[in-house]
Chain A
Amino acid sequence: MAQNAATATKGAVRNGNLASVRENTAKGVFIALAAFSILAVFAIVIYLLAASIPAFREIGFFKFLTGSIWSAKHEIFGILPMIVSSLVLTVLSVLLGGILAIFTAVYMVYYCPIWMKKIYEQIINLLAGIPSLIFGYFGLVALKPVLDDLFNVGSSLGLLLSTLVLSIMILPTITSLVKNSLENVPMHYYEGALALGCTKNQAVWKVCLPAAKNGIIAALILGIGRAVGETMAVQLLLGNLVNYPTGFFLPIRSLTSNIVLEFGYSTGLHREALIATGFVLLIFILIINLCLWAVKKNDSIAGNKFFSRKFKQTNSTLAQLNYKKTGSVQDILWILSHIIAILVAVMLAFIIVFVFVRGIPNITADFLFGESANAHPTLSPAFASTGMLILMALLVALPLGIGAAIFLNEYAKRGSKLVKLIRLFIDTLAGIPSIVFGLFGAIFFGTYCGMGYSLINGSLTLALIILPTIIRSTEQSLSEVPDSMREASYALGAGKLKTIFVVVLPQAISGIVTSIILSIGRIVGESAALIYTAGSVVNMPTGYDSAGSSFAVMMWKFMSEGLDTELCYATAAILMILVIILNILVTVSQKFFQRRKAK
């Protein structure tokens, strides 16, 4: 940053123009802000690597990766069963979740009435906002007994249960991305298909869906990233015995659950081995991100492969007959998409009812606002801690994110190598699982910077987590500001900096507000990254240097000793209400800004 400023100053002296000093300095600052994501990703990779090297050295890199036994007590550390389990679990959940999501997205785009589509958008958003701990309890308390009876097994903790819950958890991500790319399929594809005599179902399933193929693949890869990184829910449902996943009802352990299970207890080599587990997980995520990047890159260069491919020449009457026959398949798909869409809505309703029925009777005014003390925990410290976490994380992440977005949209040449590089790193940051952020926070902010368990540690970790959301959302709305407004501003003699702050940024306020609300949602639901950074205490935080627990961490804590199960569900209900309120806020604010724009 200093260097950039220095070069900027040099250039300015040559020009002898004060205004350009300011402009160039600003540009330097924006570049630095944008490059922060690169720095963050490198810092995470390097710190985790440095912290895992002792483990690799002592255990042996290949022994660590290919060992089948993990026993901290006997100091034997092999993570192959966990790698395999993580992969199998991910593949199965993405298959199931992907299928459900694609059907839901098709239903939303092509089959449901407009008023219904709006409801479904809310359903998907709500499902995306539910904290993973809630999914975990739902699976453990509501779904497990059903599976136990259904399959007549002693304990259904394991692959099947986790796959079911995980596929519901990644469904919103995939659905909304598939929905977007379906909506981007040009209308004339659909109309053309109808004009050629296809039925509506044939047009949807044989023309429009294949046309959105690249978008669907990208969505599935993103789903893979989510599934690999999911921690708190699967930790409750996997059974966590170190096993190869040879059966649906065998307890297995994933990479993420290995970390969250044992990190707290670990010391010495054990701790290093767990950090090394985190590093392996990180490498997986980086590979997945590169795949995603490759798919996207492919997309922009080759255009749409489906329509550029050669069609086979066939006997036309035979083909016609065949086509009529296959029409019935699409009709079945049509029915399926309706069933699945209803299923998704029912699932959400189920989870909400489950949480409210268990939680709301336990909510009392004293539990919400009473003074919290040892042995009499209430949620008032959680209000304070969550508020403080949100405030500080936003204070750190907003300037970084908005600055980066300004650079990407206003300064950088579109399609330049630097922009591509920065985008790649922002996407990478977005894909890193929160447990890895938690590990990084615990090692870097906690140990290296000496922050220990504190709200400032938690806030900084959270700032890293929400940064990509803020950049993307702000960039999106910056790019929607018409160029004519910028040109008008230049024509009136305003400099670039002034144009950005006075003309462009106020127009992009809707994206910034949305990103703030989305970030708050993410912070409210986060638990894996906070347990080992902000700590878990029942006391009122006295400042940013003291430990503090947000709602989600409180929920985890209430569950931990099994003495306050009612309080755990009460907190879950509060969290659920917060998530619903935040969702309503997003919708209302978007409507508000839309209306203002229309004026």
Chain B
Amino acid sequence: MTKAMKRVTCLACVAVMGLGAAMFAACDDQGNNPGGDTSREVEELYISGSSSVSPLMEKLASVYESFNPYVDITVQTSDSGTGVADAIAGKNDFGMASRALKDSEIEQGVTSKQIAIDGVALVVNPDADLDDVTSDQVYQLYANGTAIGAITNAISREDGSGTRDAFDSLIKSAAGDELGDLLTFNACVTIQQSTGGVKEVISTAGTTNTIGYISMGSIDDTVKTVKFEGVEATAENVKNESYALSRPFNIVYKSEDDLSEAAKLFIDFIMSDAGQLIAENEGYISVSDSL
């Protein structure tokens, strides 16, 4: 080997090792079996789907993992469509969907189980002068650009989003027209790809003319919720059905029998009082009657 060749090889090695070092150092933590007990194998659960459900699922998973060290749960965040498609293809243990299954999906042999309810809250900037809206007002703003007081602009989500599905089918005009039947919105409406995008625009200081809608689990003090038809957007009101804007959080799988043992146990945990309490704590509404 010539000197020059050595130099090239050396350089390549250093580069490769440098890159690898970070990766292995980071991976090392995970390789260790918790508790030092090597006799039990770690069971892996792979859950994929809706980005609306995943914050709740991640929370549930982290609590579950903390007292169940032999389970390793991976939550892949994308969207309801992928969650269902993965479940159909058998690529995940179960999928997450923030909407009811479509008929075309049920035909392909999957079933869903509701794990929580999510309210959809209308939000404005904390400085905005708006407290209460009616369904017709919201419809007229999105469809025709009719301002609600100082609110002249609105934000919607992209077609296919579970939040938008719920919103579109629940907002109706006084004449009974559904927002979802429109082919397009008025030009005062902009589309953001994520809850974060909606929040980012609305919470920016001085943006007091814009209304949007987000999952109730994502509400914090950067935005102000608006009453819908005179009803406050709270978990109790969603639960007693006085607040109309809500949608189901579902998990999707082929059938109970197809679930792995670990997946069944995790689902039992989700449906248990403890799991449902976590959902309530995170701002969602439990599906359990005992809470």
**Residue pair B209, A154 in contact (C-beta under 8 Å):** yes
* B198-215 contact mask (Cβ, 8 Å, vs A): 1 or 0: 111100111101100010
A16 within 8 A of B: no
Please judge, given known A-B contacts A374-B61, A568-B196, whether A241 and B81 are in contact too, CB under 8 Å: no
**Can you name the residue of chain A whose Cβ is closest to the Cβ of B23?**
A387
Q: Is the CB of A536 within 8 A of B196?
A: no
The 8 Å CB contact of B158, one of A262, A267, A371, is A262
- Asked if A251 contacts B62 (CB within 8 A), the reply is no
Alpha-carbon separation in the docked complex, A158 to B104 (Å): 36
Of B24-32, B114-122, B253-261, which binds chain A? B24-32
Q: Which residues of B lie under 8 Å from residue A158 when comparing CB positions?
A: 190
B76 interface contact, C-beta 8 A: yes
CB nearest to A391 among chain B residues: B19
Within 8 A of A (CB), among B30-63: 30, 48, 51-52, 54-55, 57-62
Let me know if B180 and A453 touch, CB within 8 A. no
Question: Contacts A241-B185, A264-B81, A563-B218 given: A141-B204 contact, CB under 8 Å?
Answer: yes
A376 x B81 contact (CB < 8 A): no
Inter-chain CA distance A536–B187, complex, in Å, is 32
Using a CB-CB cutoff of 8 Å, which residues 61-91 of chain B contact chain A? 61-62, 65, 73-82, 84-85, 91
Contacts of B91 in A (CB 8 A): 452
- B159 at interface (Cβ–Cβ under 8 A)? yes
Give 1 or 0 for each of A238-265: 1 = CB within 8 Å of chain B CB: 0111110000001101000000111011
Interface residue? A113 (CB, 8 A): no
Determine whether the beta carbon of B5 is less than 8 Å from that of A502: yes
For residue B13, CB closer than 8 A to chain A, the reply is no
Contact, CB under 8 Å: A380 / B65? no
Is B4 close to A, CB under 8 A?
Answer: yes
Do the beta carbons of B30 and A542 come within 8 Å of each other? yes
* B146 CB-CB contact with A under 8 Å: no
A558 CA / B185 CA spacing, docked (Å) = 28
Q: How far is the CA of A68 from the CA of B228 in the complex (A)?
A: 34
Whether A506 contacts B65 by the Cβ 8 Å rule is: no
Instruction: Name the contact of A240 in the complex, choosing from B15, B29, B190, B205 (C-beta under 8 A).
Output: B190
Q: Which residues of B contact A154 (CB under 8 A)?
A: 152-153, 188, 209-210
Complex Cα gap A92–B86 (Å): 42
How many Å lie between the Cα of A503 and that of B200 in the bound state?
56
The answer on a CB contact under 8 Å between A561 and B187 is no
- Do the beta carbons of B8 and A509 come within 8 Å of each other? yes
Partner of A387 from the list B22, B104, B192, B195 (CB cut-off 8 Å) is: B22
A373 within 8 A of B: yes
Which A residues lie within 8 Å of B78 (CB)? 264, 453, 535-536
Contact assessment for B190 and A157 in the assembled complex, using a CB-CB cutoff below 8 Å: yes
Determine if B109 is an interface residue (Cβ-Cβ < 8 Å). Answer: no
Residue contact A560 to B196, C-beta cutoff 8 Å: yes
Digitize A536-576: 1 where CB-to-B-CB distance is under 8 Å, 0 elsewhere.
Answer: 11111110001100000000011111110100100000000
A residues 194-252 in Cβ contact with B at 8 Å: 235-236, 239-243, 250-251
Q: Which residues of B contact A501 (CB under 8 A)?
A: 5
Partner of A559, one of B29, B189, B196: B196
User: Once the chains are docked, how many angstroms separate the CA of A140 from the CA of B195?
Assistant: 14
With A148-B206, A391-B19, A560-B51 already in contact, the answer to whether A267 and B74 are too (CB < 8 A) is: no
Q: Give chain A nearest CB distance to B123 CB in angstroms.
A: 10
Binds B, one of A70-78, A310-318, A333-341, A424-432: A70-78
Which one of A76, A140, A148, A262 lies within 8 Å of B200 (CB-CB)?
A: A140
Q: Which residues of B contact A557 (CB under 8 A)?
A: 77
Contact of A241 among B82, B187, B196, B214 (CB under 8 A): B187
Query: Shortest beta-carbon distance, B11 to chain A, in Å?
Result: 7
Which of B81, B201, B205 lies in contact with A140, CB distance below 8 A?
B201
Which chain B residues border A558 with CB–CB below 8 Å? 196
Task: Please report which residues of chain A, range 135-172, place their CB below 8 angstroms from some CB of chain B when the two chains form the complex.
Answer: 137, 140-141, 144-145, 148-149, 154-155, 157-158
* Cβ–Cβ contact A373 & B180, under 8 A: no
B137 at the interface (CB under 8 A from A): no
Query: Which A residues are CB-close (under 8 A) to B265?
Result: none
Residues of the A chain whose Cβ atoms lie less than 8 Å from the Cβ of B61: 374-375
Task: Point out the residues of chain B lying under 8 angstroms from A137, CB to CB.
Answer: 200
Residues of A within 8 Å of B57, CB to CB, are 374
CB < 8 Å neighbour of B159 from A72, A145, A260, A541? A72
Could you tell me if A73 and B191 are in contact, using CB atoms closer than 8 angstroms?
no
Chain B residue contacts of A149, Cβ below 8 A: 206
A384 to chain B, nearest CB (A): 4
Given contacts A69-B184, A145-B204, A154-B210, contact A384 B27 (CB under 8 A): yes
The answer to whether the Cβ of B193 comes within 8 Å of any Cβ in the partner chain is yes
Task: Knowing A265-B79, A565-B200 are in contact, say whether A542-B27 is a contact too (CB < 8 A).
Answer: yes
Instruction: Report A26 CB to chain B, min CB distance, Å.
Output: 16
- Is B230 among interface residues, defined by CB-CB distance under 8 A? no
Q: Are B81 and A562 in contact (CB under 8 A)?
A: no
Contact A74 B183 (CB under 8 A): yes
Q: Shortest beta-carbon distance, A23 to chain B, in Å? A: 18
Check: B140 CB closer than 8 A to any chain A CB. Answer: no
Residues 31-79 of A contacting B (Cβ, < 8 Å): 69, 71-74, 76
- Contacts known (A73-B168, A148-B207); A251 close to B19, Cβ less than 8 A: no
A345 at the interface (CB under 8 A from B): no
Q: Is the CB of B26 within 8 A of A241?
A: no
Task: Enumerate chain B residues within 8 angstroms of A243, measured Cβ to Cβ.
Answer: 184, 187
Which 6 A-B residue pairings sit nearest by Cβ, starting from the closest? A265-B160, A239-B190, A562-B196, A240-B191, A506-B4, A374-B58
Residues of A within 8 A of B (CB): 69, 71-74, 76, 137, 140-141, 144-145, 148-149, 154-155, 157-158, 235-236, 239-243, 250-251, 253, 260-262, 264-268, 270, 371, 373-376, 380-381, 383-384, 387-388, 390-391, 394, 452-453, 501-503, 505-506, 509, 513, 516, 535-542, 546-547, 557-563, 565, 568
Pull 30 A–B residue pairs with CB atoms less than 8 Å apart, ordered by A.
A72-B159, A137-B200, A145-B205, A145-B207, A154-B152, A154-B153, A155-B188, A157-B201, A235-B193, A236-B193, A240-B158, A240-B193, A241-B185, A251-B189, A262-B160, A265-B159, A265-B161, A268-B104, A270-B160, A375-B61, A375-B62, A391-B20, A394-B19, A506-B4, A557-B77, A560-B51, A562-B199, A563-B218, A565-B199, A565-B222
Known interface pairs A155-B188, A562-B198; 13 further A-B residue pairs with C-beta atoms within 8 A, sorted by A's residue number: A73-B180, A145-B207, A149-B206, A154-B153, A154-B209, A241-B190, A265-B159, A265-B160, A267-B84, A383-B26, A384-B23, A502-B4, A506-B7
